[in-house]
Every structure is written in C-alpha cells, then in structure tokens.
Amino acid sequence: MNLFKIFKNGIFNENPVLVQLVGLCSVLAISNNAKNSLGMGLSVIFVLVCSNFVVSLIRKFTPDKIRIPIFIVVVATFVTMVEMFMKAFLQPLYQALGIFLPLIVVNCIILARAESFAYTHNPLESIVDGLGMGLGYTLTITILAIVRELIGAGTFFGIPLFGENFKPAAVFVAPPGAFILLAIFIALFKIISKKKATD
C-alpha cells in the first residue's frame, strides 16, 4: 500500500473530524483555546501512533474474541504515559485538559484505527496511518480553536491582538460557538472536496 496515500487519507479523504465525524466531544470542548487544542492534538498523535504500532505488532497473536479489551489496554497504557508526562512537566495544560485527557482511551478515532487499520496492516503502515489521522485531528482542532479564540477573545495562543477597544463575540468561546464554527468548517471542507473531485 502507498504510504503517502495512507498519510494523506488521515488529513484529507478520511479526516476524523471533518469527514468521519468521530472524536467530536473533545473537539467541541477543548477548541476554545489554541494552546489546549494543540496540546490535545499532540497527545492524540502520540497515542494513535504508538497504539497503532503495538496493535499491529500483536495482531497475529491476539484472539479475535478479546481483541477490543486488548486494544483498550494498549491505548490506556499510552494515555497513562501522556498523563504522567503532562502532570510532571506541563501542569497548566494537564489541568486545562482535565477529564478529556483520560477520555482519549475511549476516543472513537483511536479505537477505530486500531480495529479497522492496525489490526489488518503491518507496523510501518499502521504508524503512518496513526500519524496521518492524528495530524488530521490536530490540524482541525487547532485551526478551529484559533478561529474561536480570535473572534471570541481577541487573542492568538493567549496573546491579545486587538487592544482594549475590541469587543469579542463571547459566544464563539462558549459551546454554541463550537457547534456553529464546526458546522461551517464541515460545510466548507465538503464544498472544497467536491470542487477538487470535479476538477
């Protein structure tokens, strides 16, 4: 299988947020702040790549009937590693991500890739798939967060941009703003994808 095609699928053709619409709880909750979104995205990339690699390595020895519990244990191991690292070295980010960090264990993106891709492909292809899917998720959540933060708070990665007279549209850093902007992102992505397909 073409490695570049696998990588590109995760970012464009099978983008987990804009195409597959999975993992949306964390996208909607975390994306009000660009720093938090980037931190969450990098955590998901790490867990996806590592869990895909391990699942691919053990796929021939994994009994079919208990594969899902085994996948969850593998994913939980890497999530715990990320949690311990953040708690030790990135305390503000650890506190900001809160419950959504341990919930990576049951994130649909990660379990779906373990089940639908890593379980049937070799380790190298599985790593590339994890990297592509993780980058697709990270780019989407970070761009969404940048737009929400700019409009809703007038900041970019926490840095004020527009001065004291700027009146932010606070709805965009609230939950309704996440739904509105995500819907716009999905619609734009579909329009661009259709246009490219017809060209």
Name the 3-class secondary structure at 180: helix
What's the one-letter identity of residue 67?
A: R
Q: What's the pLDDT score for residue 23?
A: 86
Q: How far is CA 57 from the centre of its chain?
A: 23
Q: How many Cα atoms sit within 13 Å of 192 on the Cβ side?
A: 10
Q: Could you list the pLDDT tens digit for every one of the 199 residues in the chain? A: 689 999 999 999 999 999 999 989 889 989 999 999 999 999 999 999 999 999 999 999 999 899 999 999 999 999 999 999 999 999 999 999 988 888 888 788 898 999 999 999 999 999 999 999 999 999 999 999 999 999 999 999 989 988 888 888 989 999 889 999 999 999 999 999 988 878 7
DSSP H or E run through 155: strand 155-156
* Half-sphere exposure at residue 188, Cβ-oriented, CA atoms within 13 angstroms: 8
110 neighbors 104 (Cβ within 8 angstroms): yes
Contact 138, 30 (CB under 8 A): no
pTM: 0.93
What is the reported pLDDT for 144?
A: 96
**Domains identified in the chain, total number:** 1
Side-chain-facing half-sphere of 69: CA atoms under 13 Å? 4
Token pair in block for residue 96: 């900001």
Domain with 64, as residue range(s), is 3-198
* E strand or H helix at 160: strand 159-160
Q: Please tell me the predicted confidence (pLDDT) of residue 107.
A: 82
Q: Which amino acid is at 15?
A: N
Q: Is the dihedral of CA 47, 49, 51, 54 positive or negative?
A: negative
pLDDT of residue 1: 66
